[in-house]
């Protein structure tokens, strides 16, 4: 079992004829993802890597009935592409683009909210249910099918955590990055709720980082609602305040959003917090053994 | 992107937000001329630096005569102002803003920001002007009134009025403040801001609001829609290496240790820093090459990391996703050809196209220590740090 995507998920790729879109569409197909449509305005009628290309998302939706759309268009156009997917009736939109103006995301998020469409990202590596479906740009080979959920704000740290798990033979149900921007779609709590309800997920790894208060909310959710073990790591313990650490979302503003506060909130709620990022795999392994 | 107060006030005026009359100047002569043409006394001289806390640090002065204004200007211009927010090195004062002094009865705080919790803009108002709003939010959250703004409809007049009326302002003043908040919202949206504030907003004896100071923080990601600001941004980067990196679209942060770091992704960068500290060493810097780096950007990025003389060890920690390992390896291999690398290099390469990348590295002529995971990286870095003394 898995959350949000599985072996039956039908995927559309917006921007499939661009450099990134083409590269990752091929990787997704190789992984076994059902890529049913591509969209590039002006390229309708082409067949790209065996995938029919449409001029608009609406046409793609009518012809191929995708469940999920992934956006591989440059940041200035990404918010528009997200809204186009929602308008076409797609129920889950995955947006890897980095560098979208935050007010564009605010508007797109508002548009999706009204249509009850879920958004992963922006600035996300995407989502993968190992062995079933991959929607995004993570390297497929590091994953292994199993029953640990991995959710993160950072792309590369998701890979890091997954890699450590797989090397220990611990497989994953679904792994995803919720996005590194200050404003994103689905939150940690939304995802934890889905893992909690998924019979195929036995434990969850949460990779948080400085900035915002989503980790604190996750701690509260764990304390009040969650029955499955949660193992967390928070990046940025040594990050200097007031410096934007690459992710627009990763900034400690005058004592708010610091790593220590997040670690304390998680530990107080009973979450297992990993201090050394090299030990994520070890600690998950021992937590699973204890159960 | 942060801008100076005098630029903030130009934005305020162009959006119809009243400010004190005044002018900016870079020399004492310019300041005296500005004071003369203003024709009122006393005047206020305000040091133009981007950090806050200027008042307490002596960066804001009052003058009662032209002579006094001239002397104060000589004293402030060229000095380094150290405030609670600048760090010990302070910030150099290159220009002053000269303004009329506004006699007023009351000071308020008005700000608009993107609320990360709701994913929507919010109007924040406080009856306490001149405060540090984040400090107030921590210590006395009850003193901040907040109106969430639906981005589909924008800030509505009734919402803004409600807030100011509940502060107990007389209805005429509340109406004027509400109107001003709508102008501020227009500025916020049109200039693609991540946050704006008027702090303090003075209410004069006749009940008129005047923006005494403020902040306009433009979203760096939206600078492409504001070309004049984008060119200003490039000119004003503080650190030369940070400027060089940002021109390449890379994110470089200078720190104070001895381990140079090239990583991809902010999360991995932060985890790498945390890890290096656990070995007892300190990161010298980190360069986040991000997702879309090309071979040439990696090569130039390597040059930037190594240009830092404090670097005694280089750690390359790459987990490829959208960024492919062979691209990174090719960039490093090209860098090796035209840079002489005299420090030990520890490389961890994983993810998309790892094998292709490792092949390129091993035929590059670079003498490097390959590690396969973070645990091994910690051990090797620890050893090299001990060796480098």
pLDDT of residue A212: 86
Residue the block writes with tokens 């969209």: A39
Residue A189's Cβ-count burial label (10 Å; 0-12, 13-18, 19+) is middle
Helix, coil or strand: residue B282: coil
User: Model's pTM, two decimal places?
Assistant: 0.90
Cβ–Cβ under 8 Å, residues A249 and A222: no
- d(C-alpha B152, C-alpha A107), whole Å: 7
Whether residue B377 and residue A163 make contact (CB cut-off 8 A), yes or no, is no
Task: Report if residue A94 sits inside a domain.
Answer: yes
Cβ pair A39, A55 in contact under 8 A: yes
Compare all CA atoms of chain A with the CA of B375 and give the residue at the minimum distance. Answer: A278
User: Cβ contact (<8 Å) for A159 and B138?
Assistant: no
Instruction: Tell me, yes or no, whether A114 and A249 share the same domain.
Output: no
- Is the CB of residue B260 less than 8 Å from the CB of residue B289? no
Are A103 and B251 inside 8 Å of each other by CB?
no
* Residue A145 and residue A47 in one domain: no
Query: What whole-number distance in Å separates Cα of residue A210 and Cα of residue B107?
Result: 33
Catalytic residue among B6, B109, B185, B252: B109
- Which residues of A are catalytically annotated? 247
E strand or H helix at A205, and its extent?
Answer: strand A203-209
Taking CA atoms, what residue in B is nearest to A22? B322
Q: Kindly report the number of other CB atoms within 10 A of residue B227's CB atom.
A: 9
Angstrom CA distances, B229 to A31, B34, B221, B223, B370, stand at: 44, 26, 12, 7, 43
> What is the greatest pairwise CA distance in chain B?
78
Whether A244 is in a domain gets the answer: yes
Token output for B23: 């002018």
Instruction: Verify that A286 and A184 share a domain, yes or no.
Output: yes
- For residues A105 and A149, membership in a common domain is answered with no
Say whether B373 and A254 touch across the interface (CB within 8 A). Answer: no
A164 domain-assigned: yes
- B189 to chain A: which residues are within 8 Å by CB? 103
Closest-CA distance, A278 to chain B, in angstroms, reads 5
A276 and A184 part of one domain: yes
**CA-to-CA separations, B285 to A245, B245, B307, B341, in angstroms, rounded:** 12, 12, 11, 17
Last residue of a domain, one of A54, A86, A120: A120
Q: Is residue A131, in this structure, part of any structural domain at all?
A: no
d(CA B211, CA B202): 6
Q: Report the C-alpha gap between B75 and B113 in whole angstroms.
A: 36
Q: Do A207 and A104 lie in a common domain?
A: no
Same domain, A282 and A161: yes
Same domain (yes/no): A39, A116: yes
Structure tokens at A9: 């998920």
- Rounded to 5 degrees, φ, ψ at A69 are -125, 140
Looking at the structure of chain A, the number of domains it has is 2
Q: Do A278 and B120 touch (CB under 8 A)?
A: no
> Which of these three, A120, A153, A170, is where a domain ends?
A120
**A263 domain-assigned:** yes
> What pLDDT tens digit does each residue of chain B (389 aa) get?
888 999 999 999 999 999 999 999 999 999 999 999 999 999 999 999 988 889 888 999 999 999 999 999 999 999 999 988 777 788 899 999 999 999 999 999 999 999 888 999 999 999 988 777 777 777 888 888 999 999 999 999 999 999 999 999 999 999 999 999 999 999 999 999 999 999 999 999 998 999 999 999 999 899 999 988 887 766 665 567 777 887 887 888 888 889 999 998 888 888 998 888 888 888 998 888 877 778 888 898 888 888 888 899 999 999 887 788 999 999 988 887 778 788 889 999 988 888 999 999 888 888 888 898 888 988 888 888 888 76
- Render the burial of B50-67: b for 16+ CB within 10 Å, e for the rest: ebbebeebebbbebeeee
CA distance A179 to A285: 26
Using the structure block, give the residue that is written with the tokens 């919790």: B117
| Boundary-marking domain end, from A75, A91, A120 | A120
Which residues in chain A touch residue B194, judged by CB atoms under 8 angstroms apart? 102, 182
User: B18: how many CB neighbours lie within 10 A of its CB?
Assistant: 18
Radius of gyration for the alpha carbons in chain A, expressed in angstroms and rounded: 18
Residue A130 lies in a domain: no
**What are all long-range contacts of A142-145, with beta carbons under 8 Å and residues at least 24 apart?**
A142/A166, A142/B350, A142/B351, A143/A171, A143/A172, A143/A175, A144/A169, A144/A170, A144/A171, A144/A172, A145/A171, A145/A172
Return d(Cα A224, Cα B313) in angstroms, integer. Answer: 46
Distance of CA B245 to the CA centre of its chain: 16
> Contact A161/A189 with Cβ under 8 angstroms?
no
Q: Which of chain A's residues have a Cβ under 8 Å away from the Cβ of B85?
A: 242
**pLDDT for B238:** 57
How many Cα atoms occupy the beta-carbon half-sphere of B76 within 13 Å? 32
Residues 6+ apart with CB under 8 A from B235: none
Q: A24 contacts in B (CB within 8 Å)? A: 322
pLDDT digits (tens, 9 = 90+) for A102-139: 999 999 999 999 999 999 999 999 999 999 999 999 98
Q: Do A173 and A82 share a structural domain?
A: no
Mean pLDDT over the full length of chain A: 93
Q: Residue B199 and residue B26: Cα distance in Å, rounded?
A: 24
The pLDDT assigned to A254 comes to 45
* Co-location of A103 and A149 in the same domain: no
DSSP secondary structure letter of residue A237: T
A167 and A282 in a single domain? The answer is yes
B244 backbone dihedrals φ, ψ, rounded to 5°: -60, -40
pLDDT given at position B44? 96
Cα(B385)–Cα(B389) distance, integer angstroms: 6
Residue B234 designated active-site: no
Q: CB-based contact (8 Å) between B219 and chain A?
A: yes
Nearest to B114 among A138, A160, A182 (CB): A182
Bridge partners (DSSP) of residue B349 are B318
CA distance B29 to B96: 12
Asked whether the beta carbons of residue B271 and residue A233 sit closer than 8 angstroms, the reply is yes
Residue position matching structure tokens 């005296």: B32
Segment A5-52, tens digit of pLDDT: 999 999 999 999 999 999 999 999 999 999 999 999 999 999 999 999
Taking only the tens place, the pLDDT of each residue in A205-233 is: 999 998 888 999 999 999 999 999 999 99
Q: Do B222 and A101 touch (CB under 8 A)?
A: yes
Measured between alpha carbons, how far is B121 from B150 in angstroms, rounded to an integer?
A: 7
Which of A100, A248, A277 lies nearest to residue B274, judging by beta carbons?
Answer: A277
Residue A189 inside a domain? The answer is yes
**Helix, strand, coil content of chain A in percent (nearest 5):** 35, 25, 40
Q: Quick check: is A2 in a domain? A: no
Which chain A residue's Cα is nearest to B276? A238
Instruction: Give the CATH number for residue A89.
Output: 3.40.50.720
DSSP 3-state assignment of A69?
Answer: strand
Q: What is the DSSP letter of A72?
A: -
- The CATH number covering residue A160 comes to 3.40.50.261
Q: How far apart, in whole angstroms, are the C-alpha atoms of residue B49 and residue B95?
A: 8
- Higher local confidence (pLDDT), B250 or A95: A95
Kindly list the distances between the CA atom of residue B312 and the CA atoms of B254, B282, B285, B386, in Å, as whole numbers in the listed order.
Answer: 14, 11, 11, 11
Same-domain check for residues A143 and A116: no
ipTM: 0.89
What share of chain A has pLDDT > 90, as a percent?
Answer: 84
Indicate the length of chain B as a whole number. Answer: 389
Domain range for A102 is 10-120
Q: What is the DSSP letter of A239?
A: P
Active site residue B208: no
Copy the structure tokens of residue B67: 């002579």
What domains are defined for chain B? 1-19+103-236 (3.30.470.20), 21-101 (3.30.1490.20), 239-388 (3.40.50.261)
User: CB of A28 within 8 A of CB of A83?
Assistant: no
CA–CA distances in Å: residue B309 to residues B151, B260, B267, B313: 48, 10, 25, 11
Confidence of residue A243 (pLDDT cuts 50, 70, 90): low
What's the pLDDT score for residue B237? 53
pLDDT in the model for residue B379:
87
Instruction: Report whether A171 contacts A198 (CB < 8 A).
Output: no
Average confidence (pLDDT) over A234-256: 65
Q: Say if residue A276 is preceded by a cis peptide, omega within 30 of 0.
A: no
Question: Is A156 close to B374, i.e. CB distance below 8 A?
Answer: no
Please tell me whether residue B12 adopts helix, strand or coil conformation. Answer: helix
Query: Measured between alpha carbons, how far is A248 from A281 in angstroms, rounded to an integer?
Result: 28
Nearest to A159 among B138, B253, B351 (CB): B351
How far, CA to CA in Å, does B275 sit from each of A240, B237, B386? 15, 29, 16
């Amino acid at each position: 079992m898995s959350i949000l995507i599985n072996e039956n998920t039908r995927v559309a790729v917006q921007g499939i004829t661009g450099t990134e879109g083409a590269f990752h569409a091929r990787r997704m197909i190789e992984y076994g993802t059902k890529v049913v449509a591509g969209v590039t305005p002006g390229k309708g009628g082409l067949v790209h890597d065996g995938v029919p290309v449409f001029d608009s998302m609406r046409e793609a939706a009518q012809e191929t009935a995708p469940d999920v759309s992934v956006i591989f268009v440059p940041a200035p156009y990404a918010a528009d592409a997200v809204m186009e997917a929602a308008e076409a009736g797609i129920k889950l939109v995955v947006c890897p683009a980095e560098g979208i103006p935050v007010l564009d995301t605010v508007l797109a998020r508002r548009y999706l909210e009204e249509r009850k469409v879920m958004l992963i990202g922006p600035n996300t590596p995407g989502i993968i249910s190992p062995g079933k479906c991959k929607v995004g740009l993570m390297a497929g080979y590091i994953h292994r099918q199993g029953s640990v959920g991995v959710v993160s704000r950072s792309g590369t740290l998701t890979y890091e955590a997954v890699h450590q798990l797989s090397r220990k033979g611990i497989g994953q149900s679904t792994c995803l990055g919720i996005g590194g921007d200050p404003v994103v779609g689905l939150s940690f709590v939304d995802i934890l709720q889905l893992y909690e309800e998924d019979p195929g997920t036995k434990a969850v790894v949460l990779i948080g980082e400085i900035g915002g208060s989503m980790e604190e909310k996750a701690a509260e959710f764990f304390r009040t609602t969650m029955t499955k073990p949660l193992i967390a790591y928070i990046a940025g313990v040594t990050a200097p305040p007031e410096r934007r650490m690459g992710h627009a979302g990763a900034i400690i503003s005058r004592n708010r959003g610091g790593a220590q506060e997040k670690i304390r909130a998680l530990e107080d709620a009973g979450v297992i917090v990993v201090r050394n990022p090299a030990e994520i795999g070890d600690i998950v392994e021992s937590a699973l053994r204890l159960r | 992107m942060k801008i100076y107060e005098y630029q903030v006030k130009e934005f305020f005026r162009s959006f119809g937000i009243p400010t004190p009359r005044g002018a900016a100047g870079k020399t004492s002569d310019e300041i005296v001329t500005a004071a003369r043409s203003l024709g009122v006394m006393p005047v206020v001289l305000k040091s133009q630096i981007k950090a806050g806390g200027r008042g307490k640090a002596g960066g804001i002065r009052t003058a009662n005569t032209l002579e006094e204004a001239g002397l104060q200007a000589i004293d402030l211009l060229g000095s380094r102002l150290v405030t609670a927010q600048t760090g010990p090195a302070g910030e150099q004062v290159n220009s002053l803003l000269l303004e009329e002094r506004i006699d007023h009865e009351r000071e308020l705080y008005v700000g608009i920001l993107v609320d990360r919790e709701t994913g929507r803009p919010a109007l924040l108002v406080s009856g306490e002007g001149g405060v540090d709003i984040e400090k107030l939010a921590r210590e006395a959250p009850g003193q901040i009134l907040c109106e969430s703004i639906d981005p589909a409809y924008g800030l509505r007049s009734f919402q803004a009025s409600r807030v100011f009326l509940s502060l107990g302002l007389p209805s005429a003043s509340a109406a004027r403040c509400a109107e001003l908040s709508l102008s501020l919202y227009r500025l916020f949206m049109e200039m693609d801001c991540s946050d704006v504030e008027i702090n303090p907003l003075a209410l004069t004896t006749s009940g008129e609001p005047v923006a005494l100071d403020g902040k306009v923080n433009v979203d760096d990601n939206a600078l492409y829609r504001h070309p004049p600001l984008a060119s200003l941004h490039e000119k004003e980067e503080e650190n030369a290496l940070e400027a060089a990196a940002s021109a390449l679209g890379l994110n470089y942060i200078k720190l104070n240790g001895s381990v140079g770091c090239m990583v991809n992704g902010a999360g991995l960068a932060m985890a790498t820093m945390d890890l290096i500290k656990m070995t007892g060493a300190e990161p010298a810097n980190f360069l986040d090459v991000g997702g879309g780096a090309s071979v040439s950007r990696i090569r130039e990025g390597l040059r930037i990391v190594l240009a830092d003389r404090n670097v005694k060890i280089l750690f390359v920690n790459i987990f490829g996703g959208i960024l492919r390992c062979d691209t990174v390896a090719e960039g490093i291999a090209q860098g090796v050809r035209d840079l002489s690398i005299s420090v030990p290099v520890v490389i961890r390469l994983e993810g998309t196209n790892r094998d292709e990348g490792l092949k390129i590295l091993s035929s590059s002529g670079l003498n490097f220590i390959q590690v396969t995971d973070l645990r091994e990286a910690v051990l090797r870095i620890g050893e090299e740090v001990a060796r480098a003394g």
